Chains A and B, each alone.
Chain A
Amino acid sequence: GQQVMQIPQYQHVQEGEDFTTYCNSSTTLSNIQWYKQRPGGHPVFLIQLVKSGEVKKQKRLTFQFGEAKKNSSLHITATQTTDVGTYFCAGPQTGTASKLTFGTGTRLQVTL
């Protein structure tokens, strides 16, 4: 079945350092979405990318969708303690427009 993998599984950075998580799908995706889950919280939708090679920015966050539409990345510039949490990518399951497959997630820890 379709698999969506993320690397790294966990990253610990000092506040002010940059952070990148990578998302790779075993199949081509019609779109890719990113979610953030704070510790003890629930996933919150951040953004959707649709076009091949698309790049979107939200303040210090930069999202990119690969040219082949099978991979994506989230880059955070100058991390802050408020960035702590787990970041998930998600894409529609192959053959259906009705449900998402979530990636395995990258847990980010930021310390002062």
Chain B
Amino acid sequence: NAGVTQTPKFQVLKTGQSMTLQCAQDMNHNSMYWYRQDPGMGLRLIYYSASEGTTDKGEVPNGYNVSRLNKREFSLRLESAAPSQTSVYFCASSEVPTYGYTFGSGTRLTVV
């Protein structure tokens, strides 16, 4: 079982560039989430999708957009990358909201 797959694993962007982080899960989970993790800041929710066809903002949505493409896939887009978006990004999924998240292995993004 692959679980939650994130691509790419590493990325370096220049300020102002755009990119999309991909996330796919094969567990038939209904809910999917995007978090960022910064040193000393824990995990902060960017966007989430409680079920297919719905998305909503988390704590730190500014500068990001998301698409729940289907039940399996939930992508995160940075339209114009900024150095403040340098972080580790984790996608997660759960069968029901707020229970037992399964996390992907993360994308380490550096914006220069």
Residues of A at the B interface (CB closer than 8 Å) are 31, 33, 35, 41-45, 48, 88, 90, 92, 97-105
Contacts and interface: CB of A to CB of B under 8 A. Distances in A.
A105 B45 CA distance: 15
B43 A99 contact: no
A42 B43 contact: no
Interface SS majority for chain A: strand
A45 B98 contact: no
Contacts of A98: 31, 48, 50, 56, 97-98
11 contacts: A33-B100, A33-B101, A42-B90, A42-B106, A43-B103, A45-B101, A48-B100, A97-B98, A98-B98, A99-B48, A99-B97
Nearest to B44: A102
Given A42-B90, A43-B90, A99 B104 contact: no
Contacts of B56: 98
A55 B58 CA distance: 31
B101 A99 contact: no
Given A43-B43, A99-B45, 7 more contacts: A31-B99, A35-B101, A41-B105, A43-B92, A45-B101, A88-B43, A99-B97
Contacts of A100: 45, 98, 101
B22 interface: no
B105 A42 contact: yes
Given A88-B43, A99-B45, A105-B42, A31 B100 contact: no
B99 A48 contact: yes
